Every structure is written in C-alpha cells, then in structure tokens.
Structure 1
Amino acid sequence: MIAFLRRPEGRTALFVLAVTLVRLIAARWIHLTEDEAYYRLWAQHLAFGYYDHPPMVAWWIRGGMALAGDNPLGVRLFPVLATALASLLAADLARALGGTPRTAMRAAIWYNATLTIGMGGILAVPDAAAALFWIACLCALARVAKGGSPLWWLAAGAAAGLAVESKYSAMFIAPGVVLWLATDRERRRLLLTPAPWAAAVLAVALFLPNLVWNAQHDWITIAKQFGRVAPRKFAPAHVLELLAAQFVLLNPLVAVYAIRGLRLPWRAASPDEARPSLALPILAGAPFAGYLVLHALHATVQAHWPVPLFSGLAVCAAMAVEVRPGGAIARRWRIIGTTAGLVLSAGLLVYMTQTHSRTLAKVDLILALRGWRELSEEVEALRQTQGAGWVGTVGYGTLSQFEAEHRIKAPTIQIIERDRYRFDQAPHPPLQGPGLVVDLARRMDPDDLKRCFATVTLVGELDRGVHGGRHAHYAAYRVEGPKVDVLTAGCPDTPERILNRFRSGS
C-alpha cells in the first residue's frame, strides 16, 4: 500500500479521496440552493421527465437521500461522488491518450483546481451527472481508438445516453464523436463496422423513456429547453462575457495551458517531440463549444453550462505541460496557480457554511442561502395567526425552500407555472379556506393577485437574512375567493410582468 501511494497513481487516488472528504463535509453544512431544493421536490415523485430537465438529477437525489437522509448531504451525496469519479476518469483519459502517470495525476488535480469544479462540485444539479457521463464516454472511446474490444463502443453509447438523460446539452457529444471519426482515415473505417451503430442505438434506447414522457406531457421539457436555441437580438458582447468568465472559472493557469493543449494535435512538432492524441476530447467537445459561442451571440451563457468540457480541457492542459514543461519559473507558477485554485475553492466552501455569521453577512455573497429556517417559522406563525389553510408562493425556489425546511404545517403551492408540477400525479384535495401568499416583495403586486383572488390583504412584511447584515424582503398577503382553479391551472391570467420579476432574481 505504501509503495502504491508513492506512485503517481496512488497520489492521485489519495488526492481525490482528500478533496472528496472535504466536499462531503461541506455538502452537509452548506444550505441547499433554491434549485437544489427544487430538484429535491422532484425526488419525492420519481418520473422519467420534469418541466426543466431530464430525470437523472432526481434519481440521484432520491438515491442519496435513501442512504444519507433528507438533508443537504443526502441531496448532494451522489453529485459529490460523481465529481470524485470524474476526477479519476480525467486521469484515466490522460493515460489512455498517451500521457504519463504524472500527467494523469496533473489532469485530475487541475480538474479540481478549476473554480467551477472546486467550488461547485458539491451541488446537486443536472451538470454533475452530465459531466460524469461525458468523460466516461470519452474514456470508452479512447479504448476504441487504441484497438480495444468493440464492447467499449457499447460502454460509450451507454454513457452518452445517460449523459443526455442528465441534461439535453449532452446531445452535442454525438456530432462531436462523428467529427472525431470523420477526420481520420482509420477512424472513418470504424463507421463500416456495426459497433458504432449499436452504440448509437443503445444511447437512444436509454434516452427513449424521457422522450416518451415528453410525448405524454405536451413536450414541455423539450419546448422549454430548445426554446433557448432560437436567436433573439444580436448581442455579441455576451461572447466576451463567456470567454472572460470561463477563463476565470477554469482557473487562469489551467486555461492558459488548455489553450496550448488545444493546438497540439495540429501543431508542427520537432522530430524528437511527442504528439499527444488529443483529437478525441477536442473534437468531441467542439460542437458543444461552438453552440455555446453561437448562443452567446444573442443571450447570456450561464456559468455552469460548459462544465462537461472541463475534464477534457484539464487533460489538454496537463498534456501541454508534458510536451513543453518549461523551466523552474514555469514550475513555480504551476504550483502557485494550482494551490490558489484549490485553496480559493476550499475557502469559498467554508464561507458558504457560515450562513449565520453576522460579520460575513455585512458584505453578503450568500444571502440566497441565509435565513430560510427562520423565515419558514415566521411564515408558519403568520399562517396560524391568519387562519390560512395553505401557503402559496410566486417563485418555485421559495416554495422549494419552504418544503425543504419542513416548518410549514399546511399545503404549499406555487400559484403560477403549474406545469412545473406535472410530475406529481397524486390526487390533491381542493385548497380549503383562505391562503397566505408569501414571496419576495419585488415579485408581489396586489393588483396581480386580484386577478386570481377576490380578496387580497397585505398582512405582513418579513425579512430573510442575518441581523446586522443584508436582508431579502418578503411580503405576505392573505387571499380568499380564488377566481380560477389555482391548484390545477394556476393563475393563467397572471401578467407577464410578474413572471419577469420572478425570473429576474431570487
């Protein structure tokens, strides 16, 4: 065992184990984000599809909660383990593409030194599963490229199908693999064998349940996600935002070496210089990267969208060091950049656990995580005082956080966007008596509520946060006499401006 730990492979495993333990501790003590709390609701009602995404994140949360309980660790258990496995697969891919054990170790470390993975590797979001299955597909294809068994094609197909069952953006791996095959004569011959086509059939079969679910539910997920593809106004400034943000989130050190690595397969090399086989991660990721740039021509690309590409970029960066390691100064900067990424990520995780710190709340970067338990208790007390039989919200995040806190002893519903809850097929009794609608004050307008209820009365103003720090301000309205079937159809005549306020922030 000691001999193994002295080898690069052993040090890689030890490093991944250490950062995983840190993430597990952080996952337990960091409050759920609104999206995580929302996906937790999905896990209460397992289905083959949901309003926003395919079902993988819900299945993972359900499994984690079965093992670790209904708490932040249970919600995040599988995503944290997936980050660990993706780290090991990044090392495996580097080795399969011709890198040394030391390069493989660097790929795993640099993958975790990116800020998106270092800080976000605990989050229970669809990207966690998509990133894992994406790198698993590449690892299987790397075996194919080395002449491995045709069964590796089936492994690649299974990974690709599960990636799409995690997030639709993983569909871009299919044209990426075709591009990789088409750009080399030997690889093109593989298309004449049955294995790639069997892999494609397997991938589609694994994704088919979600397609069937969508067909049965008016294609709501497909319509929502693919509706983003349609171009709107031309705004190329978003491309600069995308590049600048990802340069930072990838870690400037890793980003610089990744750029060098992206050039390696096509750069003229000296006779004594090794040429790494980086065409696979580069070409497989090219269609997705191209789409992100295209999307940025008309809209903002969210910071976490490119995450499936990070493992391949870490491998490219590590390979670039192997080809041209540089001198002592370059080694020193690599140590500084790697350490900075890991320490900064760990520091941010510690900061995110301090949801009750008055000192840190004065300059608050995590207001979205603060004060949900206290707010839930205040809402429950107000509900009882007002004799309300149910609690409503405008935002799905507010509803989800109330549900996760288990403090409100009455039915809770989101009064708009009822399509979000098609996963819950259980019959619900009609809402009884008056209700209490609570949400951020900027989302609430009594005139809007009066379109759905006969009587609307402001009965309270609440704050969520830490005393002495920034606060999120909430309004509470007592409502009676619904004019529509709120539980089934929601408020269909809610003006677009209330939806815009909801989407503008949490």
Structure 2
Amino acid sequence: MNRPGVGFAARPVAGIAVTLAAVLTALSGRYGFHRDELYFLVAGDHLAWGYVDQPPLTPLLIHMSSSIFGETPMGIRVFSTLASALTVVVVALISREFNATRRAQILAALCTAVSGFVMGVGHLASTATYDLLAWMTIALLAIKLLRTNNPRWWVALGLATGIALENKYLVVLPLAALLIAVLITGPRSVLRTWWLPAGLAVAALIAAPNLIWQATHDWPQLTVASGISEDDGTENRIMFVPLQILQLSPFLVPIWIAGFLNLWRSPTLRWARPVALAYPILCVVVLALGGKPYYALPLLLVLVAAGAQPTLNWLTTTARRTTLAVGLALTALTSMLFTLPVLPASAVNFVIPVNAEQGEQIGWQELTIATAKAWQQIPEAQRARAVLFAGNYGEAGALAKYGPAHGLPQPASGHMSLADWTQPSDMQDGPVLLVEQERSQSYEANFTECRQVGTVGNGVNADNEEQGAALVLCTGTKLPWSQTWPALRRYY
C-alpha cells in the first residue's frame, strides 16, 4: 500500500482558503445578481426534485442561503464562497496523495486560490461552483482508491457521486474518463470487487429522486443539453484549447504540464497514471459532445496538485524562485481583474470579451424600470387582463425580483422551468408586453399588432445580452394562451 510521505499542511492551507473567502466576500456585493442567480431565486420558490434544465441541489442551497443571509447578491453567495474555500483545501489534500511535501501542498493550495476558474465560479452562486467542489472531492476519493487499492473507497465514491448528481450530471464525464483510463493502464484490480456495485447502488439511491423526476417528465435535460450542443457546439470546439489555457490561467500551464508528466513518468506514482490519462480522454469526450470548455477544467486542478512538487524541485536558483513568485502574483491580479467585480461597472466592457459573465451582473434594475415605463402605456382599465411576458429566465427573474416595487405583475415566461410555473390564464386576453433580447418575427407572430414601445439600457453601456433589448407591446394573442403556450416554450 502506498502512503503519503508527510502530514497535511493544515494551518497554512486553511489560511489560504480563508484569504480567498475573505476576498470573495468583500467583492460579492458589487454589481448585482447574475442572470442565473435570478432564475435560481425563482426556482427556490418552486422547490422540487428536478427542473427542466438541472437537478435540485443548487436552487435548494440558494434558497437556504437567501433565507439565512438575505436575498441579496452577498447573501446568496455565502455557500458558494465556502465551497470555493473548501475546494482549495481538497486540492491541497490531493497533492498530499501524490507525495507532496508540506511546502508543495501550500503551493497547490495557492495555485488553486489564485486561478481564474476558482475565483470566477466562487464569486457566483451557480451549479458550476458546487460541481467543482464535487469533482475535487470525487477525484480525492478516486485517488485514494487507486493509491491504497482498498475497495471500500467505492462506497465513499458512490456517496459523493450521488450527491454530485443531485447538482449536475456532468460528474459522469470525469468518472467515465477515469474508468477508461484504468481499463487502459490499470490497475484493473480495483474494478474486480463487489464494493464497486455497492458504490454504484449508493450513488443510484441518492440520485434516484431526480432521475425519477426526469424520467416522469420525458427527460427534458437531454433536450436542453442537445440544444446547447447544437447552438454552441462549433464555437465551443473552436475555443476549447484557448479557454483551457485562459480560464485557469496561462501562468499555471507549466505547473499542470509538470503534473501530467509527474504522474505519467514517476516510478513511485505509477499507480496514478490513469489520473493523468483521464484528462486528455475527458477533453476528447467534451469536444465530441460539443460541451463547454470549462467542463474539463476541474481535472486540470488535479494536474496542478500533481505538479506542485516538481515545481518546487525546480526552484534551485533565485531567478527561478523569482519567476514563480511573479507568475503567481500575475495570476492573482489577472484572475481578479477578469473574474471579480474589481472594476467600476462603467469599465466592464474591458473584461467582457474574456469573461462575459461579468456583464450579466449589470443592468437588471434598469431593465425593470424601463419595463415599468412601457407597462404604463397600457390603459389602466386593461392591465388586469394584460400579461407581462419575458423572453428568458434572466429577464423573468429580474422582473419577479424588482418588478413589484414598480407596480409590475409577476412575469410569465416560456423559458426552461418557468414555462411550468407561469402560464397565463385564457381569461387574460388583454394586451401583452414582450421583453425580447432581439425582435423576432416568428416569435411575435403569436401576437397581434405588435409595436416597439421602449428599449432597455443598463446606464453604463455594458455590452451584455440585455443591452438594447426591445420592449414590444401587442394588443393580444392570436389564439388563447392555452393554445399559444407550446409555441412559446424554450429549452435553451
């Protein structure tokens, strides 16, 4: 049985994790809600075992966080901040599994904390935030299984996987990649045990409520996934390699390459070769599926953990130590600049080409105010039968959050699970105010006598998705809402 060479550098690693948490907390209240967060707030009011586009865990956690800490950007991001801090600790623990010294564990934790991906997902309350922690935990347990050849780790793996599946199905990708890698390189003995089906049973039992929900609703997540691949697949494939480098940090590339070589070549880490091979296999799978480039990024953090010790061994001169220090400092600075709201909102266009999510936190209250002005153009006598219809879940979430203070009714929307919660009654046969990112003749063909009565501006000219959105007032629907609704439903 292989054993880690040294103990865990608990205090310094915890200090790094706490520092990251402090930075994220200090900046979490700037800008505003992200479009996904606004949707999660609405989903939290409709708690269920599943949704059209996701399992239930993230909406539940955001609902809990907002209930405890307040329905503000800072309040709903508390659990995300904690998850990112824990991710730093888990990566350091992974490095220890690869025989890293205490100093190397500290370096692994530091690289993780300053990486752009960890900062970016830690700033927002999103499925990716909790997915990253889940991937790192599963990776740690899988590495323990390979290192010790103790099949009992399969049960812990099943437990972690089951919980992860209640947040996002993507966790099956790295597990599949690791399984393929084990079949290629060994040790195959970890697969020849009854503990493996026991672990699978634990995972299936925990994931069952959401899987049953999906099955009884015709697997809408498959529809969403196929739509994303069809819509963005080509762009995702083109940008895959550049974003593997940029989203973690270009300055960390030598460290994760060193980690791959360490796992692949080191005689003492021969048992970990499938961990190295899992990353390129995962890249091939993501490219084939047309998935988003960040789907493969968590395994790069495992390679960073493996590269910490070789990097320290390389620091034999003052020049090399200076190079590492400068690289980490530049990583921290660029990561903060492009993933955290450190710039004034008026300067956000500088970072949007690299990280569009920054812009999606700006302008939601302005959208609501513009919508309220357009709503006032409906004669007061007709407003009780009128409908406010949002084209996407970000718009619907913003109008649900800020609209009541401006005299707006609860919005309807056909986007994702909102279509199941907000369908207007056939009795609402009055005017319809549409909020559209871009005007669409095929979309407006469901309504009568449509004319644009306003345009959304976010006040700082941020080039986000809602800047310039059209407010279109129609006299009504061509058919009753019950007949019109299927044509308005959108899965991506």
Fold-level similarity (TM above 0.5): yes
Amino acid at match of 1:292: V
1:136 Cα deviation from its structure 2 partner: 0.8
Q: Runs of 5+ in structure 2 lacking a partner?
A: 1-7, 353-357
Structure 1 residues 309 and 147, CA gap change in structure 2 (3 angstroms): closer
Amino acid at match of 2:242: A
Q: Which moved more, 1:313-322 or 1:204-213?
A: 313-322
Structure 1 residues 244 and 469, CA gap change in structure 2 (3 angstroms): closer
Could you tell me whether the CA contact under 8 Å between 2:426 and 2:482 is conserved in 1?
no
Other structure's SS at 2:77 match: helix
- Residues 18-417 of structure 1 aligned to structure 2 (within 5 Å): 18-147=19-148, 151-179=152-180, 181-183=182-184, 187-226=187-226, 239=237, 241-267=239-265, 275=269, 278-279=272-273, 281-295=275-289, 299=290, 301-322=291-312, 324-348=314-338, 351=341, 354-355=344-345, 357=346, 360=347, 365=352, 366-387=358-379, 388=383, 389-406=386-403, 407-417=405-415
User: What whole-Å deviation, never above 9, does each CA across 1:276-299 have from its counterpart, x for those lacking one?
Assistant: 76435324445422212334xxx5
Could you tell me whether the CA contact under 8 Å between 2:116 and 2:335 is conserved in 1?
yes
Structure 1 residues 24 and 384, CA gap change in structure 2 (3 angstroms): same
Match of 1:4 in 2: none
For 1:114 and 1:198, the matched residues in 2 are separated by 36
Structure 1 residues 467 and 131, CA gap change in structure 2 (3 angstroms): closer
For 2:414 and 2:287, the matched residues in 1 are separated by 33
Could you tell me whether the CA contact under 8 Å between 1:413 and 1:487 is conserved in 2?
no
1:95 Cα deviation from its structure 2 partner: 0.8
1:16 Cα deviation from its structure 2 partner: 0.9
For 1:209 and 1:475, the matched residues in 2 are separated by 40
User: What whole-Å deviation, never above 9, does each CA across 1:408-437 have from its counterpart, x for those lacking one?
Assistant: 5333445544x5325639997853632322
1:244 Cα deviation from its structure 2 partner: 1.8
Over the residues paired in the alignment, what is the CA RMSD in angstroms? Answer: 3.4
For 2:462 and 2:211, the matched residues in 1 are separated by 50
In the alignment, structure 1 residue 457 sits paired with structure 2 residue 451: yes
Other structure's SS at 2:288 match: helix
User: What whole-Å deviation, never above 9, does each CA across 1:442-481 have from its counterpart, x for those lacking one?
Assistant: x124x44552223323333342222799992233222233
Select 1:479's aligned residue among 464, 469, 474: 474
User: What whole-Å deviation, never above 9, does each CA across 1:297-346 have from its counterpart, x for those lacking one?
Assistant: xx5x5343333324313213313314544533222221111111112223
For 1:435 and 1:179, the matched residues in 2 are separated by 53
1:172 Cα deviation from its structure 2 partner: 1.6
Could you tell me whether the CA contact under 8 Å between 1:37 and 1:404 is conserved in 2?
yes
For 2:11 and 2:425, the matched residues in 1 are separated by 54
Select 2:485's aligned residue among 466, 472, 490: 490
Q: Runs of 5+ in structure 1 lacking a partner?
A: 1-6
User: What whole-Å deviation, never above 9, does each CA across 1:48-70 have from its counterpart, x for those lacking one?
Assistant: 22222222221221121122111
Could you tell me whether the CA contact under 8 Å between 2:425 and 2:481 is conserved in 1?
no
Q: Which moved more, 1:104-113 or 1:83-92?
A: 104-113
Amino acid at match of 2:285: Y
User: What whole-Å deviation, never above 9, does each CA across 1:80-110 have from its counterpart, x for those lacking one?
Assistant: 2111111100001111222111111111111
Match of 2:3 in 1: none
Amino acid at match of 2:327: G
Could you tell me whether the CA contact under 8 Å between 1:50 and 1:422 is conserved in 2?
no
1:240 Cα deviation from its structure 2 partner: 5.6
Could you tell me whether the CA contact under 8 Å between 1:82 and 1:129 is conserved in 2?
yes
Structure 1 residues 285 and 206, CA gap change in structure 2 (3 angstroms): farther
For 2:80 and 2:54, the matched residues in 1 are separated by 16
User: What whole-Å deviation, never above 9, does each CA across 1:131-188 have from its counterpart, x for those lacking one?
Assistant: 1111111222333334386553222111122223222221123323423543566x42
TM-score normalised by L of structure 1? 0.82
Match of 1:3 in 2: none
1:121 Cα deviation from its structure 2 partner: 1.9
Structure 1 residues 46 and 476, CA gap change in structure 2 (3 angstroms): same
Amino acid at match of 1:453: F
Percent of residue pairs bearing the same amino acid type? 21
For 1:243 and 1:368, the matched residues in 2 are separated by 24
TM-score normalised by L of structure 2? 0.84
Q: Which moved more, 1:148-157 or 1:203-212?
A: 148-157
